[in-house]
Amino acid sequence: MAIPVKTLRLLRARDPHCWHCGVEEDLVPHHRINRGMGGSKLLDTLDNLMMVCGLYNGAMESDLLVARDARGWGHKLATWELCSRPVFDCTSYRWWILLPDGSRVEHEVKEPF
């Protein structure tokens, strides 16, 4: 199932670069909570989606160390976690809360998660 065009448009406007490395080319939508094999489109929400480069997207799924770091940064979430968990922008060194309307608000970290 494809992500709706309107959702992709809002996602690209919010995320003009990869959250991990900052590149602006070869960006793909990434589900923080995986949809699974053809899973539910209910996870195609803007607070669960982020744009990352294809290289990082593949590495999160195939390299255990990259996946571990991605979980620490909120780039990958377990199915039981909430999408309101902050996400780290590795290029600006800032934490953000992604909102369902496609916006984001900065999150100041006071304690480790």
Average pLDDT, the chain: 91
Q: Write out pLDDT tens, residues 49-89.
A: 999 999 999 999 999 999 999 999 999 999 888 888 999 99
In this structure, is residue 59 part of a structural domain?
A: yes
In this structure, is residue 94 part of a structural domain?
A: yes
Q: Write out pLDDT tens, residues 34-50.
A: 876 555 677 899 999 99
- Overall number of domains in the chain: 1
Examine the pLDDT at 113 and tell me if it is beyond 60: no
pTM reported for the whole predicted model: 0.88
In this structure, is residue 113 part of a structural domain?
A: no
Which DSSP string corresponds to the chain? Answer: -PPPHHHHHHHHHH-SS-TTT---SSEEEEESB---TT--GGG--TTTEEEEEHHHHHHHHH-HHHHHHHHHTTSSB-TTS-TTS-EEETTTTEEEEE-TTS-EEEE--SS--
